Amino acid sequence: MTDNKMQTDRIQEEIIEEFSVFDEWLDKYDYLIELAGELPAIDPAHRTEQYLIQGCQSRVWVDARYEDGKVWFSADSDAIITKGIIALLIRVLNGRTPTQVLDTDLYFIDRIGLRENLSPTRSNGLVAMIKQMRLFAMAFASKEEK
């Protein structure tokens, strides 16, 4: 097992453990709202159409920068639960190489019951957020190869 896989698995296991203390989904939603408050603010210049994710019911902006071979994400949303979800994705994928972002199996999503407890539109939004983060990674990976 690579160091990166161990690291991302450790973070995902932490998330699973954090959510396991809640029996009710309402409590898990409250925790997502709490996590949303911890998400660092995105640069206001990146709260534009260019950074808006298509396929989300709420407005979600995601940006990424490539620094020292690693991808660093920032994001924001006008929906507090969606903002909590993107905070979790960033927690797992931030500071990874483009290849690691592309290869990470985000198993925590199913293990905490997130996918099955989201409305269909929010579930589509989750898929769109992951897709956008991976598109950034693909773009950075292709730059790396040149």
The pLDDT assigned to 58 comes to: 86
Which range among 3-7, 10-14, 92-96 shows the weakest confidence by mean pLDDT? 3-7
CB 105 within 8 A of CB 17: no
The pLDDT assigned to 90 comes to: 97
Average pLDDT, the chain: 92
d(Cα 119, Cα 86) in Å, to the nearest integer? 16
Residue 146 has pLDDT above 90, yes or no: no
Tell me the pLDDT tens digit for each residue of 29-69. 999 999 999 998 898 999 988 899 987 778 999 999 999 99
Residues identified as active-site: 56
- Residue 1 — very low, low, confident or very high, per pLDDT cuts 50/70/90? low
- Residue 75 — very low, low, confident or very high, per pLDDT cuts 50/70/90? very high
The pLDDT assigned to 96 comes to: 95
The pLDDT assigned to 126 comes to: 92
Tell me the pLDDT tens digit for each residue of 117-128. 888 888 888 999
Here the contacts of 124-127 (C-beta below 8 Å, separation 24 or greater) are 124/55, 124/56, 124/57, 125/53, 125/55, 125/56, 125/57, 125/58, 125/60, 125/82, 125/85, 126/85, 127/55
The pLDDT assigned to 33 comes to: 95
The pLDDT assigned to 145 comes to: 67
